Amino acid sequence: MEFLILLIFVVAILVLPLKMAAAMLGARNTGVFSCLFALLLAVIIQHFVGGLIPGVTEEWGILITIPLAAIAYMLVLGTGFFKGILIALVQGLLTIGLTLLLGGVMTAL
């Protein structure tokens, strides 16, 4: 039961910021399953490209990750490439904020 609750929290922390960012920036597909599929596709693309480029530092990895996520968002969410980059940036900021908020709430309990 605890694993199921943890899985729901993790999916909510990952999908909710993407859904909010896609809706704010006017993506065509902003459903929960579309956002989940876009995240999965972004992870698959990033894993594939990460295997092709060995020895990437953390700073360069972030610079590579954002355009790759934008490509996945462009394909699944129905946006342009530059709007996909903005969605990826806003999603990252919202994910950090949501994680800090959830951590604060869990600490207070």
**Domain for residue 69, yes or no?**
yes
The total number of structural domains in the chain stands at 1
Q: What is the pLDDT of residue 40?
A: 92
**Domain for residue 8, yes or no?**
no
Q: What is the CA radius of gyration of the chain?
A: 15
Rounded Cα–Cα distance for residues 38 and 34 (Å): 6
Contact 26, 82 (CB under 8 A): no
Q: Is the dihedral of CA 52, 34, 70, 99 positive or negative?
A: negative
**Domain for residue 70, yes or no?**
yes
**Domain for residue 28, yes or no?**
no
**Domain for residue 103, yes or no?**
yes
Which residues fall within 8 angstroms of residue 93, CB to CB, at 6 or more apart? none
Q: What is the pLDDT of residue 9?
A: 82
pTM summary value: 0.84
Q: Residue 84 is part of which domain span?
A: 33-108
Helix (H, G, I), strand (E, B) or coil at 1: coil
DSSP alpha helix (H) spans, 53-80: 58-77
pLDDT in tens, the chain (109 residues): 888 888 888 888 889 999 999 999 999 999 999 999 999 999 898 888 877 777 777 777 778 888 989 999 999 999 999 999 999 999 989 988 988 988 888 888 7
Contact 76, 41 (CB under 8 A): yes
**Domain for residue 27, yes or no?**
no
